[in-house]
């Protein structure tokens, strides 16, 4: 029988919230490993979690899923034996028996009642390995094989590697946010970074059919599906048909303000939706100075219409840094597909870079906004919920 030792991430630092954090993490792990529930036994101890895996063939798949769960610092595949010196020696010898090259032994004695000190045990193990394997030498700085033994209250844990995981905080401990997801590179990365800090993310996408294509919408489905492995497994994607409002926005006289006002309406709709779905923040992929509509003046004029905080996790990132993350999370190749999410007819030639709030307000006064926003929210948002590996449309909101 194999075991996976899961080390908790940053949550070990969180004082009184610790138990809540651990419970959330375990809940998230159980959810993501639902399909393996019959072959896993969960064993929780003070600083770590052990999954006993009854079918070793599934070990690799399970580790792969665990690596993407926020709140996990690292994993090790461990063997757990009784706290008996001879037994520990025997297992360590077996582990080192076929190895050729350098090695190192590390012993940590968490159970101070164990009769042998960590130093003595380490020496015993190293000496017996050297005696039994002629092809092996000690290298304490850069060993090719590192055998670690941890003496815990519930057994001696033996392992040879630490697999890095995603760190961060368990999704859900920081509440829920609504991510404005375009088909571009930045907003999926912003969603991922928000998830990393423990905030569950639902998505809102604006489309303007027939000007925007089915392929553009399909990108959004693909992007949310890619991010699912980091998200809560029952997230929602809201698709808002923005065409009626877009038509109204064509009446804006000050053409350079069209994008600013469109963004303000995105945010107004997002605020109302957040209220309905009990989300406490809005997330966008805006990056300071990246394009004309992402200046600090523009951000201020957009923030003005929001009751909720707008989180912009990639605000200070260069495009190159954002692309690097999007490649890591495998959204890049979807994002660069050439289908526009915003009606290109609508985009002004010279969008204002330093919009003024009073001008935006003045332009909006001439439009029938409140009614159209309410109508759109009630009638033109479709909800999709992630269920059993795919997004399913929800009948009634």
Q: Which residues are annotated as a binding site?
A: 180-181, 205-206, 263, 285, 294
- With respect to ligand ATP, which residue has the nearer C-beta, 186 or 228? 186
DSSP per residue, 4-59? EEEEE-GGGG-GGGHHHHHHHHHHHHHHHTGGGGGGEEEEE-SSEEEEEES-GGGH
Helices (H) and strands (E) in the chain, counts: 13, 16
CB 262 within 8 A of CB 249: yes
Distance set, CA 205 to CA 54, 93, 177, 244, 333 (Å): 42, 58, 14, 15, 19
184 makes contact with Mg ion (CB under 5 A): yes
* Binding-site residues from annotation for ATP: 180-181, 205-206, 263, 285, 294
List for the chain the helix, strand, coil content (%; round to 5): 45, 25, 35
CB 387 → ligand ATP: shortest distance, Å?
A: 23
Q: Which does 185 bind (CB under 5 to 8 A by kind): Mg ion, ligand ATP, none?
A: ligand ATP
Q: Which does 181 bind (CB under 5 to 8 A by kind): ligand ATP, Mg ion, none?
A: ligand ATP
Q: Which does 180 bind (CB under 5 to 8 A by kind): ligand ATP, Mg ion, none?
A: ligand ATP
Q: Which does 317 bind (CB under 5 to 8 A by kind): Mg ion, ligand ATP, none?
A: none
- With respect to Mg ion, which residue has the nearer C-beta, 276 or 291? 291
| DSSP bridge partners of 282 | 178, 310
Under the rule (CB under 6 A), what is the footprint of ligand ATP? Answer: 180-182, 184-187, 204-206, 284-286, 290-291, 293, 341-342
Which residue is associated with the tokens 């809201």? 238
Determine the Cα–Cα distance for residues 72 and 11; give it in Å rounded to an integer.
9
CB 287 → Mg ion: shortest distance, Å?
A: 11
CB 30 → ligand ATP: shortest distance, Å?
A: 31
Q: Which does 293 bind (CB under 5 to 8 A by kind): Mg ion, ligand ATP, none?
A: ligand ATP
- With respect to ligand ATP, which residue has the nearer C-beta, 29 or 302? 302
- With respect to ligand ATP, which residue has the nearer C-beta, 168 or 313? 313
- What are the residue ranges of helices labelled H in the chain? 18-32, 59-67, 85-96, 118-132, 186-196, 214-227, 243-249, 258-277, 296-303, 319-328, 332-335, 357-365, 369-379
Instruction: Using CB under 5 A, pick the residue from 28, 74, 182, 363 that binds Mg ion.
Output: 182
CB 234 within 8 A of CB 203: no
- With respect to ligand ATP, which residue has the nearer C-beta, 119 or 316? 316
**Count of residues that bind Mg ion according to CB under 5 A:** 2
Q: Which residue is nearest to ligand ATP (CB)?
A: 184
188 makes contact with Mg ion (CB under 5 A): no
Q: Which does 285 bind (CB under 5 to 8 A by kind): Mg ion, ligand ATP, none?
A: ligand ATP
Q: Which does 191 bind (CB under 5 to 8 A by kind): ligand ATP, Mg ion, none?
A: none
Determine the Cα–Cα distance for residues 289 and 318; give it in Å rounded to an integer.
10
- With respect to ligand ATP, which residue has the nearer C-beta, 146 or 272? 272
Q: Which two tokens stand for residue 211?
A: 């000007």
- With respect to Mg ion, which residue has the nearer C-beta, 182 or 331? 182
71 makes contact with Mg ion (CB under 5 A): no
CB 268 within 8 A of CB 305: yes
CB 127 → ligand ATP: shortest distance, Å?
A: 59
Determine the Cα–Cα distance for residues 262 and 140; give it in Å rounded to an integer.
61
CB 302 → ligand ATP: shortest distance, Å?
A: 9
* Phi, psi of 292, deg, nearest 5: -55, -35
Binding site for Mg ion (CB under 5 A): 182, 184
């Amino acid at each position: 029988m194999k075991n996976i030792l899961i080390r908790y991430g940053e949550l070990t630092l969180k004082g009184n919230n610790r138990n809540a954090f651990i419970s959330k993490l375990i809940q998230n792990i159980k959810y993501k490993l639902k399909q393996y529930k019959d072959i896993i036994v969960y064993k929780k101890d003070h600083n770590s979690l052990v999954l006993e895996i009854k079918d070793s063939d599934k070990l690799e798949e399970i580790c792969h899923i665990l690596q993407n769960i926020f709140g996990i610092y690292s994993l090790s595949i461990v063997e757990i034996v009784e706290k008996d010196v001879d037994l520990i020696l025997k297992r360590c010898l077996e582990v080192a028996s076929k190895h050729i090259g350098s090695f190192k032994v590390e012993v940590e004695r968490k159970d101070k009642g164990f009769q042998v000190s960590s130093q003595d045990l380490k020496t015993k193990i190293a000496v017996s390995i050297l005696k039994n394997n002629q092809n092996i030498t000690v290298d304490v700085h850069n060993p090719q094989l590192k055998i670690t033994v941890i003496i815990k209250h519930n057994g001696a844990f033996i392992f040879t590697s630490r697999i890095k995981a995603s760190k961060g905080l368990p999704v859900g401990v920081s509440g829920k946010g609504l991510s404005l997801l375009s088909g571009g590179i930045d907003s999926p990365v912003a969603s991922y970074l928000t998830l990393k800090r423990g905030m569950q993310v639902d998505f809102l996408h604006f489309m303007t059919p027939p000007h925007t294509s089915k392929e553009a919408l399909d990108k959004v489905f693909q992007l949310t599906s890619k991010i699912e492995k980091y998200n809560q497994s029952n997230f929602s994607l809201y698709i808002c048909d923005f065409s009626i409002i877009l038509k109204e926005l064509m009446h804006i006289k000050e053409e350079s303000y069209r994008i600013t006002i469109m963004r303000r309406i995105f945010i107004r709709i997002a605020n109302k939706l957040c209220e309905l779905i009990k989300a406490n923040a809005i997330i966008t992929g805006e990056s300071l100075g990246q394009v004309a509509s992402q200046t600090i003046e523009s951000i201020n004029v957009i923030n003005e219409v929001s009751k909720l905080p707008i989180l912009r996790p990639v605000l200070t990132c260069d495009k190159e840094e954002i692309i690097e993350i999007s490649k890591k999370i495998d959204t890049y190749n979807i994002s660069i597909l050439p289908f526009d999410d915003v009606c290109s007819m609508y985009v002004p030639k010279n969008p204002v870079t330093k919009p003024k709030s009073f001008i935006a307000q003045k332009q909006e006064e001439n439009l029938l906004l409140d009614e159209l926003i309410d109508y759109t929210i009630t009638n033109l948002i479709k909800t999709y919920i992630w269920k059993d590996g795919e997004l399913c449309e929800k009948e009634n909101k």
